[in-house]
Amino acid sequence: MGDETTHRKVALVTGANKGIGRGVAEHLAGLGMTVLIGARDRGRGEEAAAALSAAGHDAHAVTLDVTDRAGVREAAKLIEERFGHLDVLINNAGITGSGQVSPQDAHDQIPSSVDLDMVRAVFETNVFGVIAVTNAMVPLLRRSPAPRVVNVSSHAASLTLTSDPDGPLAALLPSAAYAPSKSAVTALTVQYANELRKDGVLVNAVAPGYVDTDSNNHTGHLTVAQGAATVVRLATLGADGPTAGFFGEQGPVPW
């Protein structure tokens, strides 16, 4: 682990060309970090990085499709060669599986009639993508004096909240794809936190809230900046910060 006084912090945000990911990237860049904009589409990633650079920040595009194993390994190799380490990993890339429809309105995810191919596609991005990217980046994170991993989850991942017929999420339609994929992300978060605790890597999951983004056809009531704030807080935790936690804007989210 390097000397924190001269250490230039490098952060990778997946799915960072728009939405919450872009908001997180902008905030981290504003804190003086070198920000790597992970995006499936090279052009969109470069546009987002150029916008941050034009605002005086140190930003670079990294072509990264989390479902492309070889591409993930190439991205890790590029980061190693260019920067030598990684301080912050934000696993933000994700899909609802229902096009431009929010999980609240995703009738095609009703468990008894769901298309298994759609479920597999959602898990490929939301779960297996998190594993692929995290595993590729762990060696680089171990070179950081204060490594942080934040997995973007959802309140819909909470078994406590979603199983309560009178609770705040009672209006959500039953989901066999998006919600279970995010529950798997929170479970993975705990397992990675337990493994990496001895290395000083703090690993947490975050529920940004119902944010106004493309994924819900802009029906969310929180701004991107509001949704990004909790993610950034967990990405910049001090050494005494929590690990293996699940947090929202108001504090811990029940499992």
Q: Domains of the chain by range and CATH?
A: 10-247 (3.40.50.720)
- How many percent of the chain have pLDDT more than 70? 90
Rounded to an integer, the average pLDDT of 224-250 is 92
Q: Given pLDDT bands bounded at 50, 70 and 90, which one contains residue 209?
A: confident
User: What value does the mean pLDDT of the chain take?
Assistant: 91
* Residues annotated as catalytic (active site), given as ranges: 178, 182
Per-residue pLDDT at 36: 98
* Stated pTM of the model: 0.93
Q: Round to whole Å and give the CA distance between 10 and 86.
A: 5
Q: Round to whole Å and give the CA distance between 229 and 186.
A: 19
Tokens of 81: 């060669």
Nearest to 178 by CA among 100, 112, 121, 243: 121
Nearest to 122 by CA among 154, 76, 84, 90: 154
SS3 170: coil
Per-residue pLDDT at 3: 47
